[in-house]
Amino acid sequence: MAATALPTLTAKDLTTDQEVRWCPGCGDYSILAQMKKALSTVGVPKEKMAFVSGIGCSSRFPYYMNTYGFHTIHGRAPTFATGLRLAQPDLQIWLVTGDGDGLSIGGNHLMHVLRRNVDIKILLFNNEIYGLTKGQYSPTSRMGTKTKTSPQGSMEQPARPLTVALAAEATFVARTIDVDVQHLTGILQKAAAHKGTAFVEIYQNCKIFNDGVFEYATDKSVKADNLLYLEHGKPMIFGKDRTKGIRLNGLRPEVVQVGKDCGVDDLLIHDETTEDPTLATLLSRMVGPDFPEVVGVYRSVRKPCYEELLQKAADAEIAKKGKGTMADLFKAEDIWTVS
């Protein structure tokens, strides 16, 4: 979306009269605030925006945005958003989902909307728990997470949202954190500018049922050592003193001490435009404590969207046979006249 001289929105323009009902201290508040901030700058009038969601705490989001909104059913938001896109080629469509909504009940739809590259910006608020149903483990809960339905600790491998998205051929993949407000705003703006399906995982703290699960990534005293901020064209360096880096050893990324194990030139250089998602996939699999967790834009490539290809096919057909009218609708190969 080109930033033209369209009316700039304020956060207030984007606020509805509905009382926000998330728990005090919930990470969702920060995301809502940054969303309004980000959208005030993208140059799209609010009637040209729509928020679509499924079910869960995060899915209340549309009620709080003074744009068009559709709070749908559990897990299926990508399908409604896809239909909306087919009807409305110019709308900016945001889809808000969670780890349960997007990866459990709606896992199938998530994979297919990404694969089709429908122009929708998907935000997955990952709090690694079911909040709205009061604290059951989710598909992203770490092994051993104790909840009411996993009293001995979760026995399931957690799903990695970004790995899933990359495997599904997502054309824009990013990760950010609810309380890292500047980074969050920046990622939202980049997602808004992407043509195609954008997939953003947001680490989101559930104050009530999973408080502190991302503390390693939000606590100022430790986060620099636990996070790697991706920058396009820059070497992958992290750490409080920025002395650590990521090097590729065969097919394995490894953490190295820059200046000791190797020079900066030996580090991986981030290129978000790489066609091949392999490296991005390796990054998406890096988890603590052995690795820093990677935030930023993993991948941003332009590929045709489903709706663009559909339009192209329609245009080609019209060029060949003319625009369809009611009158020529009924013509068939074999028609006959009785007089």
Partner 1 sequence: MTPPAGAGVAEPKSAARTTPATSVEVDSVTIRFAGDSGDGMQLAGTQFTNTSALFGNDIATFPDFPAEIRAPAGTLAGVSGFQVHFSSREVHTPGDVLDALVVMNPAALKTNLKDLKDGGVLIVNSDAFEDNDLKKAKYTVNPLEDGSLKGYKVVRVPVTKLTRESVKESGLTSPRDQDRCKNFFALGLVYWMFERPLDTTLKWIKDKFGKKPEHLPVLEANTRALKAGYNYGDTVEVMPVHYKVAKAPIEPGTYRKITGNEALALGLVAAAHAAGKTLVYSGYPITPASSVLEQLADMKRHGVKTLQAEDEIAACGVAIGASFGGAIGVTGTSGPGICLKSEAIGLAIMTELPLVILDIQRGGPSTGLPTKTEQADLLQAMFGRNGESPAAILAPQSPADCFDIAYEAVRIATRFMCPVFVLSDGYLANGSEPWKLPDVSKLAKIEITHPTEPNSDGTQFHENGDGTKGKYLPYKRDEYLSRPWAIPGTPGLEHRLGGIEKQDTTGNINYEPANHEHMIHTRWKKIENIAHVIPELAVHGPADAELLLIGWGGTYGSIRAACERAQKQGKKVAWAHLRHLNPMPKNTEAVLKRYKQVLVPELNSGQLCWLLRARYLVPAEGLNKVQGRPFLVSEIEAAIAEKLK
> Using CB under 8 A, which of 36, 37, 109, 160 touches partner 1?
109
3-state secondary structure of 13: coil
Q: Tell me if 85 contacts partner 1 by CB under 8 A.
A: yes
- The helix (H) or strand (E) run that includes residue 100 is helix 99-100
Within 264-323, the residues that bind partner 1 by CB under 8 A are 306-307, 310, 313-314, 317-318, 321-323
From CA 222, how far away is CA 208, in angstroms rounded?
A: 23
Contact characters 116-155, partner 1, x per CB under 8 A? ----------------------------------------
Q: Tell me if 208 contacts ligand SF4 by CB under 6 A.
A: yes
Q: At what angle do helices 77-87 and 107-116 cross, to 10 degrees?
A: 30
From CA 189, how far away is CA 46, in angstroms rounded?
A: 15
CB 61 within 8 A of CB 50: no
Looking at the Cβ atoms of 154 and 204, the one nearer to ligand SF4 is: 204
CB of 196 to ligand SF4, least distance (A): 29
Provide Rg for the chain, Cα atoms.
22
Looking at the Cβ atoms of 172 and 306, the one nearer to partner 1 is: 306
Q: Tell me if 338 contacts partner 1 by CB under 8 A.
A: yes
The entry of ligand SF4, partner 1, none that residue 260 binds, CB within 5 to 8 Å by partner kind: none
The entry of ligand SF4, partner 1, none that residue 26 binds, CB within 5 to 8 Å by partner kind: ligand SF4
From CA 3, how far away is CA 24, in angstroms rounded?
A: 35
> Which residues 6+ apart lie within 8 Å of 139 measured at CB?
99, 100, 103, 104, 107, 156, 158, 159
Concatenate the DSSP letters of all residues of 175-206 into one string: EEETT-HHHHHHHHHHHHH-SS-EEEEEE---
Residues found near partner 1 in the complex (CB under 8 A): 16-18, 45-48, 50, 52, 62-63, 66-73, 76, 78-88, 90-91, 108-109, 111-112, 306-307, 310, 313-314, 317-318, 321-327, 329-330, 332-339
Contact residues toward ligand SF4 (CB under 6 A) are 22-23, 26, 28, 57, 127, 131, 206-209
